[in-house]
Amino acid sequence: MPDLNKTVIKLSKRAYYLMGKRRYNEAEKVFKEAYALDKENAYILVGLGDVYRKLKNFPRAIKYYEEVLAIDPRNVFALRGMGNAYRGLQQPEKSLIYWDRYLQCNRYDSHVMVRMADSYKKLGRFDEALQLYLKAIEIGGNEKYARLGLGTLKYKLGDDDTALECFEKYLVFDDSNVAVLTMMGNICQRRKQFERAAAYFKRTIELDPDNAFALYGLGNCARGMRNFADAIRYWSRVLELEPENQNLYTRVGDALCAMGRLDEARRHYEKSLAIGFDPYALLGLANIHCSRQHYEEAEGCCRKILDKLPNNARALKELSRIYEGKGEREKAELLREQLSM
């Protein structure tokens, strides 16, 4: 028996060494050799659970963790491993059960707290997520991911001040997270802090040149600063990536109109309409026709909108302007009365 124990210990040490070197397939073979000699050794069972979890064979990992917990229900390594395995299976409800049991044994593990908070957030249990993120930050040791989780939660809930504060602190640990930089840009853009927003979007583009969200945001910021040429440049890059982005054809058309490049604007509005109905593209075309005193064509664009959206205020207002241009003042006045009701 002493020789058997020595062999088991030697094999388990070798297997854990291989695990540390990320040689998981080799570690699996050695763990199985040890398991054949001692099927109730918690150290080996946890090792098998861990190695299968690393190999993303989560059901098999769970099998070995369950064997550990049948012997020792408070084994913290198995409890944490079970939570992580169910996380890998995208089953946060089950992860929470085991992580909660784990924290009853190891109350100050901020890493597990953050993972629990992430799971609560996925399940829409925001109050519980908030409490755990704050507790993890208070305890320390995992501030990077606690700040990230809390920031994304606050972003989701519309608490932009706290989200920005969390993201700024997160960037101290990792300034290359494009999702965080994009969210920060979006917050500043909503606040019409266009220069600050553009700085975050540009940092995103440096890391990911084809990031459509950041390019779109840069276009919006440029438009907000009345820099229509840059807006068109950024949005055109998005259209290269997303040629069926109907909304963006209209945005580019509007920017071209603002620059007086009406023929180019018309082509973009027509591209939008080739994809489907778009009242804003039709309004843009109506505006171009009206500026050229092509009133019948302009009226036709408004009628197409009103056929689908009978009370569309912008179409009615544009139609009133068209009637004024045509000298049909009574029709224009009737539409203005309709709009004022």
Tell me: do 90 and 112 sit in the same domain. Answer: no
Q: What is the pLDDT of residue 2?
A: 59
Tell me: do 81 and 122 sit in the same domain. Answer: no
Domain assignment present for 139: yes
* Residue finishing a domain among 146, 174, 202: 174
Q: How many structural domains are present in the chain? A: 2
Amino acid identity, residue 63?
K
Which parts of the chain fold into alpha helices (H)? 2-20, 24-37, 42-54, 58-71, 76-88, 92-105, 110-122, 126-139, 143-157, 160-171, 178-190, 194-207, 212-224, 228-241, 246-258, 262-275, 279-291, 295-308, 313-326, 329-340
Contact 318, 286 (CB under 8 A): yes
Report the alpha-carbon distance of residue 35 to residue 54 in Å, rounded. 18
Report the alpha-carbon distance of residue 61 to residue 55 in Å, rounded. 9
Q: What is the pLDDT of residue 292?
A: 94
Tell me: do 86 and 124 sit in the same domain. Answer: no
pLDDT tens digits for range 248-296: 999 999 999 999 999 999 999 999 999 999 999 999 999 999 999 999 9
Report angle CA 101, 102, 104 to the nearest 5 degrees: 65
Contact 314, 283 (CB under 8 A): yes
Report angle CA 193, 194, 199 to the nearest 5 degrees: 105
State CA 86 to chain mean position distance. 22
Tell me: do 118 and 89 sit in the same domain. Answer: no
CATH number of the domain at 170, please: 1.25.40.10
10 Å CB burial of residue 264 (0-12, 13-18, 19+) is: middle
* Residue finishing a domain among 44, 73, 98: 98
Tell me: do 19 and 69 sit in the same domain. Answer: yes
Tell me: do 29 and 117 sit in the same domain. Answer: no
Domain assignment present for 49: yes
* Residue finishing a domain among 174, 203, 222: 174
Name the residue range of residue 120's domain: 108-174
Tell me: do 66 and 138 sit in the same domain. Answer: no
User: What percent of the chain has pLDDT above 90?
Assistant: 92
Tell me: do 168 and 82 sit in the same domain. Answer: no
Tell me: do 71 and 3 sit in the same domain. Answer: yes
Q: What is the mean pLDDT of each run of 10 residues along the chain (341 residues)?
A: 79 93 96 92 95 97 97 97 98 98 96 97 97 95 95 97 97 96 97 97 97 97 97 97 96 96 97 97 96 95 96 93 92 87 73
